Structures are given as structure tokens and as C-alpha cells.
Structure 1
Amino acid sequence: MRLAKRSIAVLACALLALGACKPDTAPQAQVPGPPDGPAATVIHLAQRLGQDDLAGFARDAVPAADYATFARAWSQDLSRWPLSELPLPERIVPMLATLSANDAERQLGMDYDRQLAGQTQDLRNAAQTLGLFATQYVRNQGDFTPAQRKHLAQVIPALSSWAQDAPLADAPRAHTALRELVAAARATGIDSDLDLREAGMEASLRRLDPFLATFVKVLDDYGLSLHESLAQLVTGAVTIEGDVATVQVRYPLAGKPITLTVTLRRQAGHWYVADYMDRAEALRKRMEQTPSAPDPDQAPAEPAPAEDKVALLLRAVARGHWA
């Protein structure tokens, strides 16, 4: 597959991830510690992301023991949470490597000019077709819960509509975006999975924060104003049964109203995202069965088959339960 096609696909996945999961705001005061109420917890986690604080988000989204579990699993290449919440998480490192490569800005710029510059109608048609295909896939296929299907049924048309109107064929804008993304990718110092493993979970997240912030800026330059999504995010009805709570959440995405339900669980007086806690428990059981760290020279796992990648992407977007 040609370099341009690879890089375009990777960038599209990252844009979709950020659009669905990571609204941004202008700099704010330091976010206080985790609140006690379930609705306040949802808002607090969104604020962590709004400050580009992935490490803080990870600490506050789960109890301390679960955070330690995720960090240990990260060092053993068993987990890349919370990066795994992004669509096609196995493409994050290759994307950084592509953007960090020698002469990346010039080469990617040439590929863009040759294949996409000025192709407004073709890009609009592609965005429309992808939106229709994804909608049908979610409706009829894939391993989704009813709540995930409901969420995706809102997110996909919103992003498809935005992409159809976005100035994706504007060459000067694209070259500016590439220049910013290349610089931000190189600043992370991450272009391999070994870099993530050696840095550890928290340090890796902190190194990635500025890169993700740059992506948010690029999205804003293309008309997807995620700071408005966060500023207008509100919680609705809250149902509490024992130590389990569900919170109704509403936020705008590309001018379209999105609603979803968040499930949280109380532990030691604080509320945490139930899905993340369940995954931490599953990781603990897995590590008990395979306690030894992997061989550093062992080849990384093969990426998911092509036919499974759509399901991975859509399922990850559907899991954007906190914002």
C-alpha cells in the first residue's frame, strides 16, 4: 500500500477517535481531585481530557489498584489502556513512526498534493459512502451492545456530515496541519512499541499529551470544534442502585446532539467507570495465569485482520462513555 494511503487512513482513524472521545478546551485552572457524585465524576473526567491530561484521566477513572494493574499490564505489553479507547489503537505507533520519519513533512505533502489536493467532490463522496457503510454495519453486524449501537447511530452521521463539508481538499491548510503534526509526533520521542513499554504507562501518556492536543487543534482548523462539545456537555438523569449508577450524558458533536448512558461503580466512597474496572479485573486474572513478562525480543502480536478493523474502530468509538 502506498505511503499516502497508509498515512491518510491512519490520520482518519485518529481524527475519528478524537472527534468521538476527546473534546478540548482552553487552558483552565488545575482540576481538583475526584468528586463524590457519579454525575460530577463524568464531568470531572471530561475536564481532565480537556486539559490534555491523559495520565490524570487514567488515575481518576479507576481505583488505585486498577490503575496499578493497567500500569503493570502496560509494562508486559498486555494492555495499552487508555490508548486502547481510540479506534484502531494498533495504528497509533505506526502513525507516530510515519509522521516522525526523516523527510516526513515533504514526502507526505507531496503525496497529498498528488492524490487529494483539490479533490473536493471525491473526498465528499468518500465521506458520505463511509458514513453509509458504517451506519449499515453497526445496524446489522458487529459485536455491539444495544447502548453502543444507539451511540454509534448518532456519532457516525454527525462525523460523516462534518467530513463532507470540511475543507479536506484545501492544500495550504493540509500542509499546515502536516507541519504541526510532524513536529508534535517527533517531540513525543515515540515511534515504536518498545518506546511505550520502556517509558511505562504514565510517562508515555504525558509524552503523548501535546501530540493529541495538536490533533485537537487540527480538528478545530477543519471545523470540528471540540472545545464547544466539552463546554456544552451536560449530565441528565442519574439512577443509583446500591454501588452502581447510570448517568445520562448529552453533548454536541459537529452541531448534532449526542446522548449516551454512562455506568459507574462506587468503591471506597468514590465513583469510577465500571467498564474500565471490569477490564482491570480481567487483566489481573490474565496476569495470574501468565505472570512472567514477555521476552523483549519477541515479535509483537500481529495486527487485527483487515475484515475485523471496522468492528474494532466502531466498537472503540461506542466505548466513548465519558464524553
Structure 2
Amino acid sequence: MRRSSVYFAAALGALLLLASAAALFMTSHKPAPVVVTAGGETPEASVQQSLALIKAGDFADFWKHSLPPADFATLRADWVRPRPDAQPISAEDRADFIKNVQQLTAPDAEIKLYALARPKLSQLEAQYHDQLPVMIGIGQAIVATGVAQSKELTSLQKQQATEVINVLAPWAQQVPWFDQGKAKQAIAVVVSTARQLDLKTPEALRAMDFDTAMQKYSIGFLGIKQLLSIYGLSIDDTLDSVRVTTLENRNGHARVRIDYTLLGKPLSTESSLIEQEGRWYSEDMLQNVRDAHDRLVAPPAPASTAAAPAAPATPASAPTPMQTSAKPPASNAANSKH
């Protein structure tokens, strides 16, 4: 997520000199392209390669690495399929989208947006400086309760999510959110990211094919990394701290522990991997992609109308088990473009 903020004016000259030297070196010493293969030779190698691709914001190669070739081809094909749960874009939503994009990408957007932000930041600081830590604490409790009550997470996943929340909340309580200097840097990042995304209409957002979407995701992800870095949270440092240890490996199934450091606090999580044709893949990710594909191609459940009288089901008219269990596609890899 590219850390580019300069905190000390005295170091600016040195940084520019180093950047110039690095640019000269890169133009004369171009590295060989990294060959991305599906899966990893070992469970550890699979996880480490996935993390390296995430750090680089290379989402196209991330999916190519994370899925067997046939599933990757299915994901790419599914990307442009019509979504049965997609809502039409209203005229109001379209107008708002275009207006916001134009504000963010105007030639003088940084100046205008910062001019608007300065008095707002002063007003918000005066109103909420003392209350913000309490409000964040309340938000922490609400999120933690939601995690604890989730029916989708296992007990271990709930514990791991809670640990992350307990690290992020104290950080958020201490961040100088109303600092005008940091706000100016953040606005510059947002404007630069919006210009690079180059999205003119919501229809263009929905019409993206897989390759285009991955390019846009990379731009957005790197922008988010910059923003978080401005406020003291380095995603790159967290990814660099990861250590992968195999806990179990037998009969084509493996379980690994992923130790990492978030904001100076040691944390860990676990991941299950499955071996297919000699390569290792995340079991959950592979299953999620396959489930999303099945839901996408499943026949829609027959629509019912309140005015129609209920009729007893017959073998000819009764929905199949696939129809009765069909759900709108989940918000995951196969349908996240919308």
C-alpha cells in the first residue's frame, strides 16, 4: 500500500536524492518478471506467495496462484455473468456517483477539498475530541458482540477476530483524526487514487471484466495502504512480519498457523489447505469460489405473488432441492465486482 508521506521537511532533500538514484537504477536494471504458478509446492509456500502478491496489490496473479487452473478459468468467466441480485442503478444514484467522481478528479480537487475540510475538522475536533475515544469504544463493543453472535464463524475464528478488534480499537482511539496536516496528505492520496481509477459512471464500474477489475482493485488497495500509513498503521509491516508454521499435514490436507504482528502486538491465525494435483490451495477460498459459481448458475427459485392462491405442490411443479436452496451470490471472489 506505498508509504509516501514525508513527516520531516529536513529529510525531503535526502529522500528526493534517494528516489532519483533508485529511479536511475531501475531504468538500467529491470528485474525479471516473477512467474506466478497455481498453488504452492508446500502449504507454507502457498501461503507465503499469496501474502507477497497481496502486499504488491497484484490481485490478478493472486487469484491465479490461489486457485487450480480450471477454477481460475471459471472465476474469470463468472466475472462477466449477469448477477441475479444486482439492483438497477437509479437516476439519483448515478448523478451522485458522477458528481462525487468529478469533485475528486477535478484539476484543483486537492485545494478545494482541503479548503472545505479545514473548517470541518476544526469544528469536529471542538465537538468530539473528548468524546471520540468513548464512541470508538462503544463501536468496539458492538462489533465484538456481532462477532460473538455470528453463525458463520467458528469458535477459533471468533477468538482471532476479537483479538484483532482489541488491537485496532486502542489504535483508533489514539489516532489524530482531526489533524489538518494528515488530512491534507490523506486528501492528496484520495484524489490521486480517484484519478488513477478513472471511473466515470457506475455503469462502467459494473461492466468491468476480470482483468480490468483486478487493475482497479490494485489501485484502490494501494491507495488504502497509503491512507492507513499516514495515520500510523502499516499494512506492509504487518505482512512482512508473517511467519507460517505447518501444524498438520496428511492425506492431502494441511493446517498452518500464521503468526504476525499488528501495531506491535503479536497475533496468530490458522488456515486449512488442500492438495490438488501436487499443489496446495486454501481450502476455504477454493470452496467459496466453487459455491459462488454454483449459486450463480443455479436456476432461480420460482417467484411467488401474494395475489396468487396457494396450490398444493405436485411432483411436476415442486421446486428441486437446488431451487429451494438457491441464494443470491455471496459477496466474495466470484461476485465482488458489484
After superposition, the Cα gap between the structure-2 partners of 1:95 and 1:242, relative to the gap in structure 1 and judged at 3 Å, is farther
- Would you say the 8 A contact 1:123–1:168 is kept in 2? no
After superposition, the Cα gap between the structure-2 partners of 1:98 and 1:284, relative to the gap in structure 1 and judged at 3 Å, is same
In the alignment, what sits opposite 1:37?
A: 42
- What is the one-letter code of the residue matched to 2:68? P
After superposition, the Cα gap between the structure-2 partners of 1:96 and 1:241, relative to the gap in structure 1 and judged at 3 Å, is farther
- What is the one-letter code of the residue matched to 2:153? F
Matches within 5 A, 1:163-178: 163-178=172-187
Between the aligned residues of both structures, percent identity stands at 23
1:252 CA drift (Å): 0.9
Tell me whether 1:256 sits opposite 2:265 in the alignment.
Answer: yes
Give 2:124's match in structure 1, choosing from 116, 127, 133: 116
Give 1:220's match in structure 2, choosing from 201, 210, 229: 229
> What secondary structure sits across from 1:121 in the alignment?
coil
In the alignment, what sits opposite 1:88?
A: none
Unaligned runs of 5+ in 2: 1-25, 85-93, 301-329, 333-338
Unaligned runs of 5+ in 1: 1-26, 80-92, 292-311, 317-323
After superposition, the Cα gap between the structure-2 partners of 1:139 and 1:108, relative to the gap in structure 1 and judged at 3 Å, is farther
Distance 1:61 1:78 in 2: 23
- What is the one-letter code of the residue matched to 2:81? Q
In the alignment, what sits opposite 2:103?
A: 102
In the alignment, what sits opposite 2:61?
A: 56
- What is the one-letter code of the residue matched to 1:190? L
What is the alpha-carbon root mean square deviation over aligned residues? 3.2
Count residues with an aligned counterpart. 255
1:278 CA drift (Å): 1.0
1:187 CA drift (Å): 1.5
Matches within 5 A, 1:186-265: 186-190=195-199, 194-265=203-274
The 4+ residue runs of structure 1 with deviation greater than 4 A are: 27-32, 93-99
- What is the one-letter code of the residue matched to 1:138? V
Distance 2:139 2:118 in 1: 20
After superposition, the Cα gap between the structure-2 partners of 1:163 and 1:30, relative to the gap in structure 1 and judged at 3 Å, is farther
Please state which structure has a larger fraction of its residues in helix.
1
- Would you say the 8 A contact 1:39–1:238 is kept in 2? no
In the alignment, what sits opposite 1:161?
A: 170
In the alignment, what sits opposite 1:150?
A: 159
In the alignment, what sits opposite 2:7?
A: none
After superposition, the Cα gap between the structure-2 partners of 1:160 and 1:113, relative to the gap in structure 1 and judged at 3 Å, is farther
Give 2:194's match in structure 1, choosing from 185, 193, 201: 185
1:193 CA drift (Å): 5.1
- Would you say the 8 A contact 1:36–1:271 is kept in 2? yes
- Would you say the 8 A contact 1:76–1:197 is kept in 2? no
After superposition, the Cα gap between the structure-2 partners of 1:239 and 1:95, relative to the gap in structure 1 and judged at 3 Å, is farther
1:271 CA drift (Å): 0.9
> What secondary structure sits across from 1:239 in the alignment?
strand
Give 1:271's match in structure 2, choosing from 280, 287, 291: 280
1:124 CA drift (Å): 2.3
- What is the one-letter code of the residue matched to 1:116? L
Question: Larger radius of gyration, structure 1 or 2?
Answer: 2
TM-score normalised by length of structure 2: 0.66
1:179 CA drift (Å): 2.1
In the alignment, what sits opposite 1:22?
A: none
After superposition, the Cα gap between the structure-2 partners of 1:177 and 1:42, relative to the gap in structure 1 and judged at 3 Å, is same
1:78 CA drift (Å): 4.2
